[in-house]
Amino acid sequence: MFFREVLGQRELKEKIIYLIREGRLPHAINLLGAEGSGNLPLALAIAQYINCKQKLPEDSCGVCSACVKMKKLQHPDVHFSFPTVSLGKQTPPTSKDFIVPFRNFVLQSPYGTATDWLDFLGKEKQGNITALECREIIQKLLLRSFESEYKILIMWYPEYLGKEGNILLKLIEEPTAKTILIFVTESVDNLLLTIQSRTQLFALKRLSDIEIKEGLQALGVDEVKALQCARIAEGNFNEALKLSQNSEDELLLLTKNWLNYLYSNNGLQLVQWIMEMADSTKEHQKKFLAYIIQLLEHALRLKHSGSQQMALLEGELKLVQTLLQKGIDEKVIPQMTGLLNDAIYHIERNANSKILFHHVSLQTQGLLLKQ
Ligand SMILES: [Zn+2]
């Protein structure tokens, strides 16, 4: 990973590059970033730059043997540690058992989350970084480096360390020579205090809509869709990417059907719609709700400014215009978005989807038909 491939974070990247060039990067750092902010890509860029044999002032060279190996995540002096799941064997799992799928996962989705990773493995969502893993890390880092001056450990989601993490304390306090430990953390709340206090914190910023839009465009997403996804994703590139891969036609169709059934008071079809929605994943349900909220916000803007220059596709613009013609206004819209936001909140807290969508549907219908 190049620094230039890491979205946004300009100041932080400059600071880190400066510290590496001056030989002053602390030996244990904590890259803290919310989901989709890119702390793993940043860790990969740091590791590549430290090992690069022909560093450029602002990035790795990309062509030296170290860069070539890093590109495949196969540099012998860069070790990865990450949550793993039980293999049903007597010995606890370690990252070594999962390194091949892990490389594939990261190459495919460097902005992915631990949940995405566990989904990718297709296992139950019980991730863990085991005590055996911690001991193996210590063993690995005791060895001399193979090719590079530095040995680097990238630990992704140290939040998954239980008390086992304390096995690592001595290593963090008195690291073996020429060793850099990079912790890639999403939330300090779940990180052992003992690790927090022994690492230097580097916090990533929330990505701007423009940075996300540009990131999506670089992956071939067209501009209108990229901007639309960026606006919904609220700084989370991982989310934006998933949204961009989702056909918006599907979300639009779901929304149209739902509203149709509500307006026409078609109870039978509404119930069927609710059952299907309740059967989809929580992520999908949240996406659907966020999508309607976004359409409603557009409706409000359109009503106020009359401007049609918005990040809306043709079908979406038509739907928004129809809603306005039906009399949906600045009184109803905030009530509806309030309802939908509440629903997202409850989905995140594992509410029963069937009951929830039933409730939201009836409440929304009340608002729509009252006008
Ligand atoms: Zn290089």
Domain boundary among 150, 178, 205: 205
The model's pTM is 0.75
Q: How far is the CA of 208 from the centre of ligand 1 (A)?
A: 29
Residue 217 placed within a domain: no
Q: How far is the CA of 57 from the centre of ligand 1 (A)?
A: 12
Q: How far is the CA of 61 from the centre of ligand 1 (A)?
A: 4
User: What pLDDT is stored for residue 152 in this prediction?
Assistant: 97
Residue 239 placed within a domain: no
| Same domain membership, residue 265 and residue 128 | no
| Same domain membership, residue 141 and residue 250 | no
| Same domain membership, residue 23 and residue 159 | yes
First to last CA, the chain: 54
| Same domain membership, residue 195 and residue 268 | no
Q: What contacts 24+ positions apart, CB below 8 Å, involve 1-5? A: 1/41, 1/44, 1/45, 1/48, 1/70, 1/71, 1/110, 2/45, 2/48, 2/59, 2/60, 2/62, 3/45, 3/49, 3/58, 3/59, 3/60, 4/58, 4/59, 5/41, 5/45
| Same domain membership, residue 150 and residue 63 | yes
Q: How far is the CA of 234 from the centre of ligand 1 (A)?
A: 34
User: What pLDDT is stored for residue 123 in this prediction?
Assistant: 60
Q: How far is the CA of 55 from the centre of ligand 1 (A)?
A: 6
CATH number for position 42 = 3.40.50.300
Q: How far is the CA of 320 from the centre of ligand 1 (A)?
A: 51
| Same domain membership, residue 299 and residue 180 | no
Q: How many domains does the structure of the chain reveal?
A: 2
Residue 228 placed within a domain: no
| Same domain membership, residue 46 and residue 124 | yes
User: What pLDDT is stored for residue 332 in this prediction?
Assistant: 93
Residue 235 placed within a domain: no
Neighbours of ion ligand 1 (CB under 5 A): 52, 60-61, 64, 67
| Same domain membership, residue 354 and residue 273 | yes
User: What pLDDT is stored for residue 125 in this prediction?
Assistant: 63
Residue 256 placed within a domain: yes
Residue 231 placed within a domain: no
User: What pLDDT is stored for residue 240 in this prediction?
Assistant: 92
Q: How far is the CA of 74 from the centre of ligand 1 (A)?
A: 14
Residue 129 placed within a domain: yes
| Same domain membership, residue 170 and residue 34 | yes
| Same domain membership, residue 143 and residue 64 | yes
Domain boundary among 153, 174, 205: 205
Domain boundary among 156, 182, 205: 205
| Same domain membership, residue 281 and residue 175 | no
Residue 234 placed within a domain: no
Q: What is the pLDDT along the chain (371 residues), one digit of tens a residue?
A: 999 999 999 999 999 999 999 999 999 999 999 999 999 999 999 999 999 999 999 999 999 999 999 999 999 999 999 999 988 888 999 999 999 999 999 999 999 999 899 888 876 668 899 999 999 999 999 988 999 999 999 999 999 998 888 899 999 998 888 999 999 999 988 899 999 999 999 999 999 999 999 999 999 998 888 988 888 788 999 989 988 887 667 889 999 999 999 999 989 999 999 999 999 888 889 989 999 998 999 898 888 877 665 667 778 888 999 999 998 998 999 999 999 999 999 998 989 999 999 999 999 999 998 86
| Containing structural domain, residue 147 | 3-205
| Same domain membership, residue 68 and residue 124 | yes
How many Å apart are CA 370 and CA 128, to the nearest integer?
51
Residue (of 180, 245, 193, 169) closest to 49 by Cα position:
180
